[in-house]
């Protein structure tokens, strides 16, 4: 089954009702009604002090969490509440995908201004629920607080067969380095939103879609895990230059990446040509692609090339190889130059870009 995007809820018309008029308990009751538990593994969901979940025998639990803050990670000038809900869930599912795990249950903590429209909150939760249920994850609880800006944090639990989780620490020198899909589209989409231009109006829709509606590579992670084809994996959330450093640090190896092998979409190339930008900046340092970066032993390369696209509908491409740690992390340019590849992706504690 190919990874596909669920339909995003249309933003609802803003109603007079706000969090201040409905109150915390009214808010909880509304959300509780819309998130009724359907997962048979959930013994108790919203309503108790904590949820109760029964894990599947023979599986290990995978935990991930991600926080998004208005003004730092998103801007409502560019994204609707429904799209934000879907994206918030998607980025957590991407972490499960990188581990080869199936999402199961999630708890959502949210901070909201008291005058925030309840209709927009409901649209946000519809986005969360739609994405979660399409991948098998049920929202079973959370917390609500007042805040000056919109803040949301999801804690997601996944399951993976015992001993089969993909990790960052398994890469070996000699392994091939693969990536799914294309890189740089999301960052270019954000750039297009922030710098609208009439001359690129026909080019940017796909780039913007990649930014607002990322597609976690869940099925790819499952194939790599269940068939034991990969030695390590990580999702590309902060940019390729940062993620390859994380992978190498945990595996105690180095890497060589070939610029000419990096997968670039026609939309990215056209946009960068029109705007006189270097696509490599988006590819290496942009972030929020949520593609999977993974390593494969030489003996499994043909299986990966055949099975992953065939079973998931997702293209994969080898972009380099892992080398001994002493050789460092290198970008080999189209001209054959060997340049040290520094981590320049998104940093949560750097000044806002």
Taking the C-alpha atoms of residue 92 and residue 96, their distance in angstroms, rounded to an integer, is: 7
pLDDT computed for residue 111 by the predictor: 95
pLDDT over threshold 70, residue 44: no
Which strand ranges, in their side-by-side order, compose the sheet holding 232-235? 232-235, 292-296, 176-180, 316-324, 253-258, 329-332, 338-340
At residue 46, the 3 state secondary structure works out as strand
- What confidence tens digit (pLDDT) does each residue in 280-302 have? 999 999 999 999 999 999 999 99
Taking the C-alpha atoms of residue 342 and residue 326, their distance in angstroms, rounded to an integer, is: 15
pLDDT over threshold 80, residue 202: yes
Protein fold of 176-340: Phosphoribosyl-aminoimidazole Synthetase; Chain A, domain 2 (3.90.650)
Taking the C-alpha atoms of residue 128 and residue 106, their distance in angstroms, rounded to an integer, is: 10
Which of residues 29 and 290 earns the better pLDDT score? 290
Least confident stretch, 109-123, 150-164, 185-199, 220-234: 109-123
pTM, full prediction: 0.86
Least confident stretch, 44-53, 69-78, 334-343: 44-53
In the predicted model, what is the mean pLDDT of the chain?
89
Least confident stretch, 7-21, 40-54, 261-275: 7-21
- What confidence tens digit (pLDDT) does each residue in 252-282 have? 999 999 999 999 999 999 999 999 999 999 9
Residues of the chain with CATH 3.30.1330.10: 21-161
pLDDT computed for residue 348 by the predictor: 47
pLDDT computed for residue 33 by the predictor: 56
- Domain 21-161 top-level CATH class: alpha beta
pLDDT-derived band at 142 (thresholds 50, 70, 90) equals: confident
pLDDT computed for residue 116 by the predictor: 87
Residues of the chain with CATH 3.90.650.10: 176-340
According to DSSP, the β-strands at 232-235 and 138-146 are: unpaired
Residue 144: which region, alpha, beta or left (left: phi > 0; alpha: psi -120 to 50)? beta
């Amino acid at each position: 089954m190919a990874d596909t995007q669920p339909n995003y809820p249309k933003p609802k018309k803003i109603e007079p009702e706000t969090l201040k008029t409905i109150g915390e308990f009214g808010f909880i009751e509304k959300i509780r009604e819309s998130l009724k538990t359907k997962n048979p593994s959930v013994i108790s969901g919203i309503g108790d002090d904590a949820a109760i979940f029964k894990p599947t025998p023979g599986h290990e639990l995978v935990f991930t969490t991600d926080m998004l803050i208005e003004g730092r990670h998103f801007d409502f000038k560019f994204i609707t509440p429904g799209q934000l809900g879907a994206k918030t869930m998607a980025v957590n599912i991407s972490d499960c995908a990188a581990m080869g795990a199936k999402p199961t249950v999630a708890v959502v903590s949210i901070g909201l201004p008291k005058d925030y429209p309840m209709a927009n909150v409901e649209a946000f939760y519809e986005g969360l629920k739609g994405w979660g249920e399409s991948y098998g994850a049920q929202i079973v609880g959370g917390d609500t607080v007042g805040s000056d800006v919109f803040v949301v944090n999801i804690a997601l639990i996944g399951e993976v067969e015992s001993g089969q989780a993909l990790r960052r620490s398994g890469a070996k020198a000699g392994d091939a380095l693969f990536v799914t899909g294309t890189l740089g589209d999301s960052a270019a989409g954000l750039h297009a939103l922030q710098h609208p231009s009439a001359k690129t109006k026909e080019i940017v829709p796909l780039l913007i879609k990649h930014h607002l509606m990322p597609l976690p590579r869940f099925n790819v992670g499952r194939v790599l895990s269940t068939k034991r084809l990969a030695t390590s994996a990580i999702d590309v959330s902060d940019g390729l230059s940062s993620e390859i450093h994380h992978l190498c640090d945990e595996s105690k190896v180095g890497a060589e990446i070939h610029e000419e092998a990096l997968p670039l979409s026609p939309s990215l190339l056209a946009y960068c040509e029109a705007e006189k930008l270097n696509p490599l900046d988006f590819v290496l340092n942009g972030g929020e692609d949520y593609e999977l970066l993974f390593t494969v032993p030489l003996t499994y390369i043909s299986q990966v090339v055949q099975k992953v696209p065939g079973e998931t509908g997702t293209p994969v491409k080898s972009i380099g190889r892992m080398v001994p740690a002493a050789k460092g992390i290198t970008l080999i340019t189209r001209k054959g130059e060997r340049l040290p590849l520094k981590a320049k992706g998104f940093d949560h504690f750097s000044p806002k870009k």
